[in-house]
Amino acid sequence: MTAEAKAPRATAPGELPAETTQASRFGKTRTAQSTALLEDYAELIADLLAMNGEARPTDVARRLGVSHATAIKTIARLKREGLATSKPYRGVFLTPQGHELADRVRARHRLVVEVLLALGVPREAAESDAEGIEHHVSEATLAAFGRFLQGDHER
């Protein structure tokens, strides 16, 4: 069987993809949603640390528009995942892995915003939309976005 024959074919409007293809797509979305929260927290904590030298759970909660209890719960998850640490009366700090995650998320965010701006989306909408898109876009799509911004519109 050739490589083309093995690749899933595109579906026509009104047609469902193969079950395994559709299940795979939804699985990727669920995974992205699960990690999106940690990515947002890591990025914000890195920004607060860079700006203020500290990231207090209270500040994190206010900036993300969540309760203090919700912020504490998610920060505990960051710690379990090895992305953050905390010190009594000192706030939250990112581990080297947490900083790497924050840097990757920030770079993805900037790339998505730049593509949206290049398409004519107003800045505020581009920034807002990028908050969701950045967590769900594949590495292949990010690479295509980069090529698009460099003027290479070929496939």
84-106: per-residue pLDDT in tens?
A: 999 888 899 999 999 999 999 99
* 5 confidence band (pLDDT: 50, 70, 90): very low
Alpha-carbon span 26 to 36, nearest angstrom: 15
Domain count, the chain: 1
Q: Which position has the token pair 């920034």? A: 127
Mean residue pLDDT of the chain comes to 86
Alpha-carbon span 43 to 50, nearest angstrom: 11
Residue 69 domain-assigned?
yes
Which CATH number characterizes residue 130's domain? 1.10.10.10
* 4 confidence band (pLDDT: 50, 70, 90): very low
Which pair of tokens denotes residue 52? 């203020």
pLDDT value, residue 76: 96
Range of the domain at 86: 24-149
Which pair of tokens denotes residue 121? 């989306």
The one-character DSSP state at 83 is: S
| 70-85 tens-digit pLDDT | 999 999 999 999 999 9
Rounded to an integer, the average pLDDT of 108-129 is: 95
